Amino acid sequence: MPQQDPPAGARLLMVEPDLAGQRIDNFLARVLKGVPRGHIYRILRRGEVRVNRGRIRPGYRMQAGDLVRIPPLRTPAPLPPALPPQALFERLQAALLMEQDDLLVLDKPAGLAVHGGSGLSWGLIEALRALRPQARHLELVHRLDRETSGCLLVAKNRAALKQLAAAFRGGAVRKRYLALTSGRWQEGARTVVAPLSRFVSRGGERVVQVSRGGRESATRFEPLERYRDFTLVAAVPLTGRTHQIRVHAVHAGHALAGDSRYGDPTLNRSLAGVGLKRLFLHAQQLEVELDGREIAVEAPLPPELRAVLERLERQE
């Protein structure tokens, strides 16, 4: 193992204007190179990291002039930078949907986490930075679950990150997902309004549930195609909560196909017969305005999900 540097005293850093709008967890991951992301979340939960002398959540977005206290940590001595596998480079290059001077949109493959950590050597953003070392400010604007595929927006500079993050917070980003749900939706389009709360289960897994004291959340579902035991729906999140579409679908009585966390295990096992080996949730469309430009991107349904729908059609 590499020799470790002795822990230093706590540091106090002031947030520069060009970092305003960045999440504190992403900021710490950059500042504390070599520290596992899981450990960063632990020191945040324990209140060891303070902003303006107060505790903050991992999702806190920093403001210009904030004073960030970073506790003394034992960090590993730097190792020579490694490169992601060539196959991952090729996946990312093939996944590029559009690129402009200040942003790019990728069609994130299912199974690829947006961040490394928790046993993962590489996430999408780390691999993208290694693929483009000259791009010094690549940052995720939002996230997709590891199991979800589709449109993922990445900012290429701080100014774009701030504007796009503000658009997400203000509900000015329009997203449309395709999802296969259990059962046949008898009604037409409907909006599920149910507050959501996050908690950690006994097994240490982060779980979301409908809760009276949760955050206001709403998702609009529109049936597109009905099969014998399933319905393909368009899902439009009207708020941006973790696992929102998945939990609201269950709340509506129609769990997502292939959902190992919130779905029906028996039903999921039966879906192996039509070749479904992943969560059937795909971020199909993304629209946002940046500097007066209308950005509109669409990611086609992946071949493995199209094949599932074709097999379901043959069962009719």
Once rounded to an integer, what is the mean pLDDT over residues 279-291?
A: 94
State the pLDDT at residue 258: 96
Residue 4 pLDDT > 50? no
Residue 1 pLDDT > 60? no
DSSP codes of every residue in 212-260: TTSB--EEEEEEEEE-SSEEEEEEEESS--TTHHHHHHHHTT-PBTT-T
Residue 305 pLDDT > 50? yes
State the pLDDT at residue 5: 42
Work out the pLDDT band at 119, boundaries 50, 70, 90.
low
Active site residue 18: no
State the pLDDT at residue 217: 94
Residue 118 pLDDT > 60? no
**E strands in the chain:** 11-14, 50-51, 67-70, 96-99, 103-108, 139-140, 149-155, 174-182, 190-193, 196-200, 206-210, 218-226, 230-237, 281-290, 293-298
Regarding predicted confidence, which is higher, 148 or 37? 148
What pLDDT, in 10s, does the model give residues 20-68?
788 999 889 888 877 888 889 999 999 999 999 999 998 899 888 899 9
Phi, psi for residue 313 in degrees, rounded to 5: -60, -40
Percentage with pLDDT > 70 across the chain: 91
State the pLDDT at residue 73: 81
Work out the pLDDT band at 120, boundaries 50, 70, 90.
low
State the pLDDT at residue 77: 58
Mean pLDDT of the chain: 88
Phi, psi for residue 173 in degrees, rounded to 5: -105, 130
Query: Which member of 25, 66, 107, 145 is catalytic?
Result: 145
Work out the pLDDT band at 150, boundaries 50, 70, 90.
very high
Biggest distance spanned by C-alpha atoms of the chain:
67
Domains of the chain: residue spans and CATH: 11-70 (3.10.290.10), 86-166 (3.30.2350.10), 173-314 (3.30.2350.10)
Work out the pLDDT band at 273, boundaries 50, 70, 90.
confident
State the pLDDT at residue 202: 58
Regarding predicted confidence, which is higher, 278 or 137? 278
